[in-house]
Structure 1
Amino acid sequence: MVNYLLMICADLENLTNLEPHDGCDDLNFSYLFKVKCGCCGELSQKETCVSLGDTVPNSSGKGTTNLIQKCKFCGRDGTVTMIKGRGKPLTQEASQSGKYCPVMLFDCRGFEPVDFIFGDGWKVESIAGTKYEGIDLSNGDFAEYDEKGVCPVMISNLRSKFDVVK
Structure 2
Amino acid sequence: MVNYMLMITAELENLTNLQPQAGCDDPNFSYFFKLKCGRCGEISQKDTCVSLNDTVPLPAGKATTHLIQKCKFCGRESTVTMIPGRGQPLTNETSESGKFTPLMLFDCRGYEPIDFEFGDGWKVESLEGTKFENVDLSSGEFAEYDEKGECPVMISNLRATFDVVK
Q: TM-score, normalised by structure 2?
A: 0.97
What's the counterpart of residue 79 of structure 1? 79
Report the alpha carbon displacement of residue 59 of structure 1 after superposing the two structures with TM: 2.3
Q: Which runs of 4+ in 1 moved over 6 A?
A: none
In structure 1, stretches of 5+ residues that fail to align are none
What's the counterpart of residue 7 of structure 2? 7
What's the counterpart of residue 37 of structure 1? 37
Kindly tell me the number of residue pairs found equivalent between the two proteins.
Answer: 165
Give the aligned residue type for 1:78: S
Question: Is contact 1:22-1:134 (8 Å) kept?
Answer: no
Report the alpha carbon displacement of residue 60 of structure 1 after superposing the two structures with TM: 2.2
Matches within 5 A, 1:1-166: 1-22=1-22, 26-166=26-166
Report the alpha carbon displacement of residue 22 of structure 1 after superposing the two structures with TM: 4.9
- In structure 2, how many angstroms separate the alpha carbons of the residues matched to 1:55 and 1:38? 22
Give the 3-state SS of the residue equivalent to 2:75 in structure 1.
coil
In structure 2, stretches of 5+ residues that fail to align are none
Give the aligned residue type for 2:27: L
Deviations, residues 10-37 of structure 1 (Å, cap 9, x unaligned): 00000000011259x7111000000000
Q: TM-score, normalised by structure 1?
A: 0.97
Deviations, residues 61-106 of structure 1 (Å, cap 9, x unaligned): 2310000011000011110000001101000000001010000000
- In structure 2, how many angstroms separate the alpha carbons of the residues matched to 1:8 and 1:41? 24
User: Once superposed, what is the RMSD of the aligned Cα atoms?
Assistant: 1.1
Deviations, residues 96-145 of structure 1 (Å, cap 9, x unaligned): 01010000000000100000000010110000001111111000000000
- In structure 2, how many angstroms separate the alpha carbons of the residues matched to 1:60 and 1:163? 29
Deviations, residues 34-73 of structure 1 (Å, cap 9, x unaligned): 0000111100000000000000001222310000011000
